[in-house]
Amino acid sequence: MSKKVKTFNLREGAFPIKMDLILEDIDLQDIGQLKDSIYGSIEISLISKDLFRCEGSINAAFIDKCQSCLKNIEVSLNFLSNLVIKDKDLMMDDDSNQDQTHYQDLEYFDITQLIQEEVSLNYPNFVRCEDICLEIKSIEKEEKNLPFKKIRD
């Protein structure tokens, strides 16, 4: 899979669906620049009507700026994904309290959208160099200025 959007109908067909993906372009904001392609190995299996399980691994490398020293660094993402896929019409009625649920139209399921969501959720909140580039000084607790301290003593 490359730059073309791949959609398929999850309500039809044989399961499990196994895919080896290579995404060369990704549309994510506030994330570093994609260094190479995103590689994924995904398997979608049917649990019950309109309920699917997606398992697999996703690997990617991004170039981003260190939040301390602003040098360009490489951010590697290598993670396993294990989530449930449900129809987006069930989103408001779902009370299953599952943490890992992806909602999308099952008749026009877009695998690129799923990968983008997983990369966004697994991208680190803080991007820093491997070494300590800038010392973060601990803030010492200053004594409060008590103007009437001498009077009380």
Question: What b-and-e string marks burial along 99-132, b requiring 16 or more CB atoms within 10 Å of the CB?
Answer: eeebbbebeebebbebbbbbbeeebeeebbeeee
Per-residue pLDDT of the chain (153 residues; tens, 9 = 90+): 444 557 889 988 889 999 999 998 777 888 889 999 999 999 999 998 889 999 999 999 999 998 888 889 999 999 999 999 999 887 767 667 666 888 999 999 999 999 999 999 999 988 888 766 665 554 455 555 666 665 665
Q: What is the pTM of this model?
A: 0.77
Instruction: Read off the tokens for 123.
Output: 């991208």
Contact 52, 84 (CB under 8 A): yes
The span from the CA of 56 to the CA of 119, in Å, is 13
